[in-house]
């Protein structure tokens, strides 16, 4: 028989009572501590989420800067503003169709300001060099003018009977090299910029068995051309200065020949 305490309670009952009190006390402590534990866990989770977000943003920004920063603009001061606009309708475009004085003038005006003056530092920033201009600086084009030059060359080649009426066999070979260069340059330009602002869709034509591209005009995300041209107008090199340039690699006409 268990021994009794002064109150007539056995030791076993006393131990059980103490254990129950300890369990009750422990349960109370757990209940009291639960909100605090939950708070700590929530704060820790929120902190991890913030750190993850900051790290992700930093990585994305670093990658974007690494891939885009070196050649964001050819030189300072260019106004590169975007707008949505419709492409010109080729049927009424002054840049397409049979050669006319009006179409030739339109192309002349489009490319009239293509040659610009850049500094040695601006060339060095792109790891490039160029020929010196008589009035200082170096000759350059914005990349878009190289592409437009190639489009003009392809147009002229499609009407070569008009633009190259007396082309020799050697001249033909030279022009074909130029044409191949322009075709691949424009291919690269299209892939490089990858217009994803619009869809090219199709339609049925009663004369053809397969779907035909629908050339109806839709908005495209474009650079504001007028603003871009205005921003680089002070760098344009005159035709007279270009015409005065002499190739130092060629012998001068007045130099005696061997």
| Tens-place pLDDT, residues 132-166 | 999 999 999 999 999 999 999 999 999 999 999 99
**4: which DSSP letter?**
B
pLDDT tens-digit readout, 193-203: 999 999 999 99
Q: What is the pLDDT of residues 75-117, one digit of tens each?
A: 999 999 999 999 988 888 999 999 999 999 999 999 999 999 9
Question: Phi/psi of residue 141, each to 5°?
Answer: -120, 150
Judge contact between 157 and 179, C-beta under 8 A: yes
CB 197 within 8 A of CB 220: yes
Average pLDDT over residues 247-254: 76
At 10, the pLDDT band (50, 70, 90 cuts) reads low
Over residues 18-60, the pLDDT tens digits come to 555 554 455 545 555 556 656 666 666 666 667 656 655 554 5
DSSP string, 84-145: EEEPPPTTT-TTSSS--HHHHHHHHHHTTT-EEEE-HHHHHHTT---PBPTTSSEEEE-HHH
Q: What is the pTM of this model?
A: 0.69
Better-scored residue on pLDDT, 13 or 248: 248
H-type helices in 164-232, by residue range? 169-193, 225-231
Contact between 211 and 203 (Cβ < 8 Å): yes
Per-residue pLDDT for 205 more than 80? yes
């Amino acid at each position: 028989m268990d021994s009794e305490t002064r109150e007539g309670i056995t030791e076993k009952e006393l131990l059980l009572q103490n254990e129950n009190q300890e369990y009750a006390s422990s349960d109370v402590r757990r209940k009291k501590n639960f909100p605090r534990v939950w708070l700590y866990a929530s704060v820790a989770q929120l902190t991890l989420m913030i750190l993850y977000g900051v790290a992700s943003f930093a990585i994305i920004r670093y990658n974007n800067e690494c891939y885009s920063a070196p050649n964001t603009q050819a030189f300072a001061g260019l106004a590169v503003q975007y707008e949505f606009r419709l492409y010109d309708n080729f049927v009424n475009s002054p840049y397409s169709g049979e050669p006319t004085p009006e179409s030739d003038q339109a192309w002349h005006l489009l490319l009239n300001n293509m040659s610009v003056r850049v500094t040695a530092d601006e060339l060095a920033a792109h790891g490039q060099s160029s020929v010196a201009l008589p009035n200082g600086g170096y000759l350059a084009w914005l990349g878009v003018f190289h592409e437009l030059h190639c489009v003009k060359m392809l147009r002229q080649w499609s009407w070569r009977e008009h633009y190259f009426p007396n082309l020799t066999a050697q001249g033909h070979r030279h022009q074909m090299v130029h044409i191949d260069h322009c075709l691949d340059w424009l291919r690269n330009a299209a892939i490089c910029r990858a217009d994803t602002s619009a869809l090219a869709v199709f339609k049925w034509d009663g004369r053809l068995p397969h779907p035909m591209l629908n050339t109806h005009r839709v908005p495209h995300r474009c650079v504001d051309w007028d603003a871009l041209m205005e921003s680089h107008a002070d760098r344009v090199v005159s035709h007279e200065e270009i015409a005065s340039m002499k190739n130092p690699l060629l012998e001068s006409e007045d130099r005696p020949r061997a």
